[in-house]
Amino acid sequence: MRNIRIIVAYDGTDLAGYQKQPDDKGLTVQGCLEYGLSKICNEPIQIYGASRTDAGVHAKFQVCTFQTSGSIPVENIPRAMIAHIPKDIVVLEAVEIPLDWKPRWNIYGKEYVYTIHNQLIANPLTKRYHWHVKKPLNIDLMQAAGNELLGTHDFTTLKGTNSTPADPVKTIIGIHVEAEGSHVTISVVGDGFLYHMVRNIAGLLVDVGLGRRKVEDIKGYLAAKDRRVIGKTAPAQGLCLEEIFFTKERQQEVLQNKYSI
């Protein structure tokens, strides 16, 4: 029996999220990968992912593992999978790892990036990958609001409505808001995230950037532990799972280069 780790990228626009659904409504990343891997390994395969992205959310660096007794060389897996999964999903890399390596326990955090097109006129060429916000955003205020979220907190206020109960205490290590012309990104690094948490962070920071909410109220929103005190969840298409960190050193490298931490 071998334990194999794959790195996967996908355009989530036409997918029903990462996790396989019992009602079989729509294509999921997990379902497609298990189908393809079962074909090339000639046995039923079950995969385990590091992050359960929502419907419409994209990923540059999703991490999954599976065990197989099949003999296919790991270096052949990315190419072999092309014929068995939708073109929206690509296996970038496959490596054999120790049997006790698990994606939910052997990682050092995740980075998500939320992208906004901040201009009066929409951009049809990138609309699958951003949230179109027409009015000008105050980037300095958005960064100041993000700084208020840093550290370990109960993030109940930022969880998805009617989401599955989970430990709401998470640690956000870095938030960086950057604008290049009309292109605005909100990058977030944390040890873990609640359902819809990053999209709710994006929605909250945009409200601050538009002057609808104040930086000094952020701590009060967290203390309320009530999803109803903030606004709407930002659209799924702006969110991308950027990276999952296998080592503390890689996490620190990203934090120092982008977040100045």
- Residues that constitute the known binding site for substrate: 112
Sequence-distant (≥ 6) Cβ neighbours of residue 163 within 8 angstroms: 194, 195, 196
Sequence-distant (≥ 6) Cβ neighbours of residue 249 within 8 angstroms: none
Q: Which residues form the catalytic set?
A: 54
Q: Are 143 and 258 in contact (CB under 8 A)?
A: no
Q: Are 184 and 206 in contact (CB under 8 A)?
A: no
The H-assigned helical ranges of the chain are 29-41, 77-81, 139-147, 197-209, 218-224, 248-258
Nearest by Cα to 254 from 60, 111, 146 = 111
